[in-house]
Amino acid sequence: MTCREIIALLQEQSPETFACEWDNVGLLVGNFEQEIKKIYIALDATEEGIDEAIAEGADLLLTHHPLIFKGLKKVNTEDFTGRRVVKLIENHISCYAMHTNFDVKGMAELAAACMGLSECEVLDVTCNGAEGSEGIGRVGMLPAEISLEKCIAFVKQAFAVDTVKVFGDIKQPVRKAAICPGSGKSVISHALCAGADVLITGDIDHHEGIDAADQGLAIIDAGHYGVEKLFIPYMVQYLRERAQGIEVVGQPVKQPFRYL
| Predicted pLDDT at 4 | 98
Which residues 6+ apart lie within 8 Å of 120 measured at CB?
A: 109, 112, 138, 139, 140
| Predicted pLDDT at 131 | 75
What is the C-alpha separation between 117 and 111, in angstroms, rounded? 9
In which band, very low, low, confident or very high, does the pLDDT at 70 lie, cut at 50, 70 and 90?
confident
| Predicted pLDDT at 259 | 80
For the segment 175-227, what is each residue's pLDDT rounded down to a tens digit?
A: 999 999 999 999 999 999 999 999 999 999 999 999 999 999 999 999 999 99
Entry pTM? 0.95
C-alpha distances (whole Å) from 134 to each of 44, 88, 106, 128, 185 are 24, 34, 11, 6, 19
Q: Is the pLDDT at 242 greater than 80, yes or no?
A: yes
SS3 letters across 73-97? CCCCCCCHHHHHHHHHHHCCCEEEE
Q: Is the pLDDT at 62 greater than 80, yes or no?
A: yes
Backbone angles phi, psi at 154, to 5 degrees: -65, -45
Asked if 149 contacts 171 with a C-beta cutoff of 8 angstroms, the reply is yes
| Predicted pLDDT at 32 | 98
